[in-house]
Amino acid sequence: MLKFLSPAPLHDPTASSTAATEVKTTTCYMCACRCGIRVHLRDGQVRYIDGNPAHPINQGVICAKGSSGIMKQVSPARLTQPLLRKAGAERGDAEFEPISWDRAFDIVTERLQKIRSTDPKKFALFTGRDQMQALTGLFARQFGTPNYAAHGGFCSVNMAAGMIYTIGGSFWEFGGPDLDHAKLFVMIGTAEDHHSNPMKIALSKFKRKGGRFISINPVRTGYSAIADEWIPIKPGTDGALFMALLHELIGSGLIDRPFLQRFTNAPQLVVLDQGEREGLFAFDPAAGPPGDGRNPHNKLAWDLASGRAVQAYPEGLQEGRQLALEGHYRLPDGTSVAPAFQLLRERVALNTPEWAAEITGIPADRIRQLARELGETALHQAFELPIPWIDAWGQRHESTRARPVAFHAMRGLAAHSNGFQTVRALAILMSLLGTIDAPGGFRHKAPYPRHIVPNYRAFNDPKMVKPNTPLNAAPLGFPASPDELAINDDGTPLRIDHAFSWEHPLAAHGLMHNVITNAVRGDPYTIDTLLIFMANMAWNSTMNTMEVRSKLNERGADGNYKIPFLVVCDAFQSEMVAFADLVLPDTTYLERHDVMSMLDRPISEYDGPVDSVRVPVVEPMGQCKPFQEVLIELASRLKFPAFTHEDGSRKFKDYPDFIVNYQAQPGVGFLMGWRGKDGTEQLRGEPNPRQWEMYAKNNCVFQYHLPQDQQYMRNWNRAYLDFAKDKGWRQKNDPVQLAIYSDTLQSFRLAAQGKTQGRQPPEALRERIATYFDPLPFWYAPLENGCVDTEAYPLSAITQRPMAMYHSWDSQNAWLRQIHSHNYLHVNPVTAQAAGVADGGWCWVTSAWGRVRCMVRYSDAVEPGTVWTWNAIGKGSGAWQLEAGADESRKGFLLNHLITEELPFAGGQISNSDPVTGQAGWYDVRVNIQPADPEEAEQTYPQVAPMRDLPGVLGGAKKVVAYFVNRKS
């Protein structure tokens, strides 16, 4: 692997140096955690990277990835100039000619201009793990195409949507476990996390203080390795565990009843009579139109003290009221109703620990004990912080009650076709324990909590897709009812990925994983140009990889590619680049400006909002140009209204200028620090021309600490709600009641059952909607189980993200390759031996959709029904400037080859995703394993033809050697 190393000494520490040294601060991007770093330069070249002790996220801590950023900077795989596919060359052959940026811009501008002036939806923009969706989303909206999304649909939209539709916030960027005050911490479905260094710092403190840490996961890797207890669970069954925990907690009374009565919709009365109000909340017409996700504050509750229905808020909160959580009642007009909590109680009645044990593989007694531990810690070890606060209805609380049980969860729950309801079950479990925004429980991070349902409607009006016209709403959002779906009059999808259609109504992050398949099929229509940024759709960012690669090359009867033009913007020679018609070379994170904005994905802390930036610490290599600059340039050339003056002249000189001067609403821009003309305002204020300078001087971060009385209970905290509205984070200052019962989901179900007058799903989708849009959580087996023979494919196959690599980002990194250059399938010895597969031996892993050959390692750290491997270590031969025979391609493999992007459905096919949100069902795949024939080649299968070197690629390991010896070559 390192055969290029020179025999010359790498570094002589005794030699005197006259080199100029300096240290610059910026923000790491070796993963999505966004730690502060110090970049040490000598003669203007990066020599060393360490953590910035003054940064709130990582407090000086740095991980292996972060410190290896230096090798990303000099990676041989770096692209350095725009490239155009050679005339006559096939896509995938990687035959390119270098072109100038002027020509590249001319090509793209001319093409996009034509699309925009005729049929804007023929342009699709999909981006990978970028952190600037406020800009990319704005670009798509101004272009006038609904066909935009980032990577969330194939990452963790179930986590985001399941939590936001229930508690108004979510894990990671928008909230997390308060380990400073927790006594019990349960991590479930999380390996190495997005929130990497902060989680490690918090866990370290938590364990030193004697906190108890339980990890529930099919595999004991990452954080689980330091847990006090590992509880193995079968993939895709977490929802069954939560339902059983709810059964136990409700049955034993270990729940926070006063919290449920005041701060959730648990006491609100649900109509039980059949008809178009069935399953919706009863409401007081005098207090507003029918209550739904957009108007949740006019519902009724049953007051046991007076024996009558009262307005839940504020009447139900008056002194002397006793809101019923249980029972069945009749309203004065004879309507039969029951509190939402009663329905939850009925729902979990049969979800016994024995029932869940069969599904999850966790013994029933352990489930009972876990429920007891959770309930007793939350209720009996509760304590008060001396922080008075006033709730939304004016009641003063003399202290803030801690509920010291914290959870953390991520993709292990989300990446299943049952993930939305699973995540809802977890959020409801956390709510029943009273832990939401309480010390020791789950805490929000600004700008969350959002309204339930958030006040962001996705674009949904087919008539507004018009030539040369921006959309009248952002392409992504949160539907609150069927009326907000992005469908045509005949019910067909408006978007190329079918997001917000009846197939996936709450697809808040889009379905990137279906774009290529749909576009090639022309379903619902063909497109002209697909612009992909930072997503390796020809390899690890796609399901059914080999088939998708061939689709990228598919031609129609006219001989033209079915996706006529493919633009790829990437910093490295990834597998996807080979398929581009036009390649735009991006910079590294050390060469550009970036923002982690409150308009998008900030780095807020529990005690207040935080945003941060990247500033260039070195010049871009070759002709590399930040994608942000490309978008600003294109938006100006295409004369988008938000980017140009009436006379057609550009509003923004470049990306930094755009960031400083663009305002989403008066005084609210991308960055909240040092606002106002003289930089003296914060959070909200006029643009400050010197804002970048101030961030650069202040460790690239702005942090605002809320007063203590606004740091907790923010769903209902009067002072915080007023403050959040004033700063533009929320449209209203009304409280955010937790949705134990979701009338939003019920509104879709009623439509599917034909009980409402408005929009109804196509016949083929009625049963699907009616089943999965259940207003209460429930567990169902992952959808793949219903499509394959689970006896023939008895094992679940999953991936884990390694600590040393973030997806595929670092297989071209000379240091990190030394940690992972290939991967094994990890199998419990009992399972492997039963299949006759030897430790270290080669085996075939087969699903109903494909097969791979790989090497096996025995491991006790995986439950017997699961096999797993590291994510994205396997590479296509020659990609990323790796040698054709590199371990990554000969011994590394991708599980993606086994996973289908579509499942059979109603005589056709449908996305292999959660039916509610469109979250890709990565972890649903079922497989079997068999030993490979000893005569077979000892290399992974499938293999692809080696990718050739691209013009201008930095290339040559000798460059890396030159770096070590400080010689320029």
Closer residue to ligand SF4 in complex, CB, 224/756? 224
Give yes or no for residue 33 binding ligand SF4 (CB under 6 A): yes
Pair 250, 256: CB distance under 8 Å: no
Q: Where are the alpha helices (DSSP H) in 871-916?
A: 887-890
Gap between the Cα atoms of 711 and 717, Å rounded? 9
| Site for ligand SF4 contains 38 (CB under 6 A) | no
The answer to whether 610 contacts ligand SF4 (rule: CB under 6 A) is no
Which stretch in 23-31, 480-488, 540-548, 855-863 sits in contact with ligand SF4 by CB under 6 A?
23-31
Residues numbered 573 to 592 that lie near ligand SF4 (CB under 6 A) are none
In the bound complex, what is the minimum distance in angstroms from residue 32's beta carbon to ligand SF4? 7
410 binds ligand SF4 (CB under 6 A): no
Q: Which stretch binds ligand SF4 (CB under 6 A): 29-37, 124-132, 499-507, 575-583?
A: 29-37
Other beta carbons less than 10 A from residue 557's beta carbon: 5
| Residue 74 binds to ligand SF4 (criterion: CB under 6 A) | no
Rounded CA gap, 740 and 677, in Å?
A: 46
By the rule CB under 6 A, 62 interacts with ligand SF4:
yes
How many helices, marked H, and strands, marked E, lie in the chain? Answer: 24, 38
Pair of tokens at residue 334: 């004879």
> In angstroms, what is the minimal distance from the CB of 64 to ligand SF4?
7
Do 248 and 220 form a contact (C-beta atoms < 8 A)?
no
For ligand SF4, give the closer residue by CB, 51 or 189: 51
The residues, any chain, with a CB within 8 Å of residue 843's CB and separated by 6 or more, are 825, 835, 837, 853, 854, 855, 856, 929, 930, 931, 932
Q: Considering the rule CB under 6 A, would residue 196 count as an interface residue with ligand SF4?
A: yes
Under rule CB under 6 A, residue 63 binds ligand SF4? yes
The answer to whether residue 721 forms part of the interface with ligand SF4 (CB under 6 A) is no
Q: How far apart (Å, rounded) are the C-alpha atoms in residues 918 and 934?
A: 42
Among 52, 58, 261, 711, binds ligand SF4 (CB under 6 A): 58
Strand pairing report for 36-42 and 529-533 = unpaired
Site for ligand SF4 in 465-484 (CB under 6 A): none
Which CB, 34 or 299, lies closer to ligand SF4? 34
| Contact between 197 and ligand SF4 per CB under 6 A | yes
Q: Residue 38 in contact with residue 49, Cβ under 8 Å?
A: yes
Distances (CA, A) of 580 to 43, 223, 246, 584, 811: 36, 38, 50, 9, 21
Residue 86 bridge partners (DSSP): none
Residues 854, 845: contact at Cβ < 8 Å?
yes
Part in contact with ligand SF4 (CB under 6 A); list of ranges 27-35, 262-270, 419-427, 488-496: 27-35
In the complex, minimum distance from the CB of residue 35 to ligand SF4, in angstroms, rounded to a whole number: 3
Q: By CB under 6 A, what part of segment 789-818 binds ligand SF4? A: none
Nearest of 569, 603, 598, 608 to residue 586 by alpha carbon: 569
As a whole number of angstroms, the distance between CA 510 and CA 125 comes to 11
66 binds ligand SF4 (CB under 6 A): yes
Give the shortest CB-231-to-ligand SF4 separation in angstroms.
26
Residue (of 264, 333, 276) closest to 301 by Cα position: 264
Q: Does 890 bind ligand SF4 (CB under 6 A)?
A: no
Tell whether residue 912 is a contact of ligand SF4 (CB under 6 A): no
Among 25, 39, 41, 65, binds ligand SF4 (CB under 6 A): 65
The DSSP output letter for 611 is E
Binding of ligand SF4 at residue 30 (CB under 6 A)? yes
Amino acid identity for residue 110 in this structure: E
Q: Which is nearer to ligand SF4, 66 or 673 (CB)?
A: 66
State how far the Cα of 62 lies from the Cα of 949, in Å rounded to an integer. 33
- Cα dist. 491→54, 443, 520 in Å? 54, 39, 21
Specify the pairing of strand 96-98 against strand 83-85: antiparallel
Q: Are strands 123-127 and 529-533 parallel, antiparallel or unpaired?
A: parallel
Furthest-apart CA atoms within the chain: distance in Å? 92
Asked if 129 is part of the footprint of ligand SF4 (rule: CB under 6 A), the reply reads: no
Q: With the C-alpha atoms ordered 476, 480, 481, 483, is the resulting torsion angle positive or negative?
A: negative
Q: How far is the CB of 51 from ligand SF4 (least distance, A)?
A: 6
Q: How far is C-alpha 218 from the geometric centre of its chain's CA atoms?
A: 21
Binding window for ligand SF4 (CB under 6 A); candidates: 61-69, 136-144, 439-447, 821-829: 61-69
Q: Which is nearer to ligand SF4, 52 or 831 (CB)?
A: 52
Q: How far is the CB of 955 from ligand SF4 (least distance, A)?
A: 25
Q: How many residues bind ligand SF4 (CB under 6 A)?
A: 13
User: In the complex, which residue's CB is closest to ligand SF4?
Assistant: 66
Span near ligand SF4 by CB under 6 A; candidates 26-34, 233-241, 292-300, 317-325: 26-34
Shortest reach from residue 153's CB to ligand SF4, in Å? 23
CA angle 340, 346, 348 (to 5 degrees): 105
Cα distances (Å, whole numbers) of residue 513 to 560, 760, 796: 23, 26, 21
Going along 537-691, which residue ranges are E strands? Answer: 565-570, 582-585, 594-596, 610-614, 663-665, 668-669
Smallest distance, ligand SF4 to C-beta of residue 571, A: 16
**Strands 529-533, 565-570: pairing kind:** parallel
By beta-carbon proximity to ligand SF4, the closer residue of 387 and 603 is: 603
Measured from the CB atom, the residue of 35 and 583 that comes closer to ligand SF4 is 35
Segment lying near ligand SF4 (by CB under 6 A), choices 55-63, 332-340, 639-647, 710-718? 55-63
Which residue spans within 1-122 are E strands per DSSP?
Answer: 21-27, 36-42, 45-51, 83-85, 96-98
Among the candidate windows 28-36, 121-129, 454-462, 706-714, which touches ligand SF4 by CB under 6 A?
28-36
Give whichever of 596 and 776 is closer to ligand SF4, judged by the CB atom: 596
Is 49 a binding residue for ligand SF4 by CB under 6 A? The answer is no
Element (H, E) at 903: strand 902-905
Give least dist CB 912 to ligand SF4, A. 30
Nearer to ligand SF4, 107 or 201 (CB): 201
Which position among 35, 99, 227, 362 is part of the footprint of ligand SF4 (CB under 6 A)?
35
Nearest to 263 by CA among 414, 452, 446, 108: 452
Q: Among positive and negative, which fits the CA dihedral 907, 913, 914, 918?
A: negative
Q: Which is nearer to ligand SF4, 62 or 571 (CB)?
A: 62
- For tokens 């249980």, what's the residue? 326
Does position 31 interact with ligand SF4 (CB under 6 A)? The reply is yes
The reply to whether 28 sits near ligand SF4 by the rule CB under 6 A is yes
- Tell me whether residue 34 or residue 549 sits nearer to ligand SF4 (CB atom): 34
Provide the residue type at 728 as one letter. Answer: G
Q: Which stretch binds ligand SF4 (CB under 6 A): 62-70, 256-264, 276-284, 700-708?
A: 62-70
Nearer to ligand SF4, 65 or 730 (CB): 65
- Choose between 859 and 871: whose C-beta lies nearer to ligand SF4: 871
CA 653, 729, 408, 209: dihedral to nearest 10 degrees? 100
Q: Select 67 or 744, whichever has its Cβ closest to ligand SF4.
A: 67
Q: Is 617 in the site for ligand SF4 (CB under 6 A)?
A: no
| Site residues (vs ligand SF4, CB under 6 A) | 28, 30-31, 33-35, 58, 62-63, 65-66, 196-197
